[in-house]
């Protein structure tokens, strides 16, 4: 175990304080005759959604910064983090807003020493163990050992980045890192969840099919907004519309959701828990965000297996797929981020070209 307290950096806007959602509320109040703007309309960083210039102008208004609501649960989240780590608040605001921002942070988060509040735009020069930020550009340039993306509507089209959906997931991830040398290895011999994590082209689906052909392994039905592919079995996923998926997600139907290549994926506890209760292993090809959520829920009964193939082989597999060129490009560009995710998995499995051998190795690991 580390002999020092880990250092964790937290972004502020849309991580601790409501920013885009607060701006949307203000814009709607200014345009009462229009259909209300939804937060989901902001689907990328910068000028997206209606009235983008008006929204972005708010971020340079000291009064806006002074009155931003605190995100639900943010103060308790920071208190819990401070129990296990040295926490730094790292925020980028224009000079005219720096005083307002610093005053709010000192007032709202008294657990954070004032010297741990860093106001500036060069997040890329700060060295930390873990960094949580909703801006993908900050995550991709971060010097943190584990840069973690906080999932929001404007970054859901990004794939491969280490990411979480909630404060609870991030807290558990920090515990995973802190206890990485002392935690008990997952035990799935009496049932559990096996998360297959890896980049596109790493044979996750083939390995899942190989495992579920064996006694004691089952694949829970995952819902997705992705169109059904040619020759794909209708039972491979629960194929639904985006509107239905969002409605079910808001109703709490899913225990984990993620977005991959622009499509939503979600798994319900009603599909996983019966498998575990039977003493079987639920096999789920999943991205790292969903895997961390399931690890948080099932703890020692969840195993994260990183499926590794050589980069050139993974690229060849992606190119050969019957998907559009933009999707192929996104998957190839995310490979470097995906390979970093192996560090937080329980098992790093070199698949190569032998899927059957990979299946046998996983079975052997679980039985041991």
SS3 of residue 143 by DSSP: coil
What is the token pair recorded at 201?
A: 């082209």
When mean pLDDT is compared over 118-122, 123-127, 264-268, the highest value belongs to 264-268
Mapped onto helix, strand or coil, the DSSP state of residue 213 is coil
Of 162, 159, 121, the closest CA to residue 139 belongs to 162
Q: Start-end ranges of CATH 3.40.50.300 in the chain?
A: 192-367
Q: Tell me which architecture the domain covering 6-178 has in CATH.
A: 3-Layer(aba) Sandwich (3.40)
73: phi > 0 → left, psi -120 to 50 → alpha, else beta; which? left
Is pLDDT above 50 for 1? no
Q: For residues 109 and 130, what is the distance between their CA atoms, to the nearest angstrom?
A: 19
Sheet containing strand 192-197, strands side by side: 217-218, 281-285, 192-197, 302-308, 347-350
Percent of all residues in the chain with a pLDDT value above 70, rounded to a whole number: 96
Does pLDDT of 181 surpass 60?
no
- CATH 3.40.50.1000 residue ranges for the chain: 6-178
Residue indicated by tokens 């970054």: 155
d(CA 157, CA 174): 25
Residues counted in the chain: 368
- Would you place residue 2 in the very low, low, confident or very high pLDDT band (cuts 50, 70, 90)? very low
Q: Which residue has the higher pLDDT, 331 or 212?
A: 212
Answer whether residue 125 shows pLDDT above 90. no
- Read off the pTM: 0.70
The CATH architecture of the domain made up of 192-367 is: 3-Layer(aba) Sandwich (3.40)
The contacts of residue 241 (CB under 8 Å, 6+ apart) are 225
Per-residue pLDDT at 205: 87
């Amino acid at each position: 175990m580390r002999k020092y307290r880990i250092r964790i950096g937290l972004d502020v806007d849309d991580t601790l304080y409501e920013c885009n959602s607060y701006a949307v509320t203000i814009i709607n109040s200014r345009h009462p005759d229009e259909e209300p703007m939804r937060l989901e309309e902001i689907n990328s960083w910068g000028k997206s959604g209606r009235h983008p210039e008006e929204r972005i102008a708010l971020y340079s208004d000291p009064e806006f910064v002074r009155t931003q609501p605190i995100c639900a649960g943010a103060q308790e989240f920071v208190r819990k983090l401070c129990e296990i780590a040295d926490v730094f608040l790292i925020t980028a605001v224009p000079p005219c807003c720096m005083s307002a921002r610093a005053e709010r942070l000192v007032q709202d988060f008294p657990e954070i020493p004032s010297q741990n509040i860093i106001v500036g735009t060069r997040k890329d020069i700060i060295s930390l163990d873990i960094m949580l930020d909703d801006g993908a550009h900050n995550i991709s340039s971060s010097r943190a050992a584990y840069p973690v993306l906080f999932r929001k509507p404007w970054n859901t089209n990004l794939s491969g980045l280490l990411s979480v959906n909630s404060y609870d997931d991030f807290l558990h991830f920090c515990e995973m890192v802190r206890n990485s040398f002392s935690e008990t290895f997952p035990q799935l011999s009496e049932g559990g969840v096996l998360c297959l994590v890896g980049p596109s082209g790493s044979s996750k689906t083939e390995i899942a099919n190989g495992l579920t052909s064996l006694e004691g392994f089952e694949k829970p039905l995952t819902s997705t907004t992705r169109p059904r592919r040619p020759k794909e079995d209708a039972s491979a996923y629960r194929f639904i519309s985006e509107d239905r998926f969002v409605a079910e997600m808001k109703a709490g139907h899913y225990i984990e959701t993620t977005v991959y290549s622009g499509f939503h994926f979600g798994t319900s506890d009603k599909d996983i828990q019966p498998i575990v209760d039977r003493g079987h292993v639920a096999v789920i090809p999943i991205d790292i965000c969903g895997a961390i959520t399931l690890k948080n829920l099932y703890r020692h009964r969840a195993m994260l297996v990183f499926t590794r193939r050589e980069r050139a082989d993974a690229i060849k597999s992606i190119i050969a797929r019957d998907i559009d060129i933009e999707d192929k490009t996104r998957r190839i560009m995310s490979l470097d981020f995906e390979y970093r995710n192996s560090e937080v998995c329980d098992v790093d499995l070199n698949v190569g070209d032998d899927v059957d051998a990979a299946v046998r190795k996983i079975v052997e690991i679980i039985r041991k």
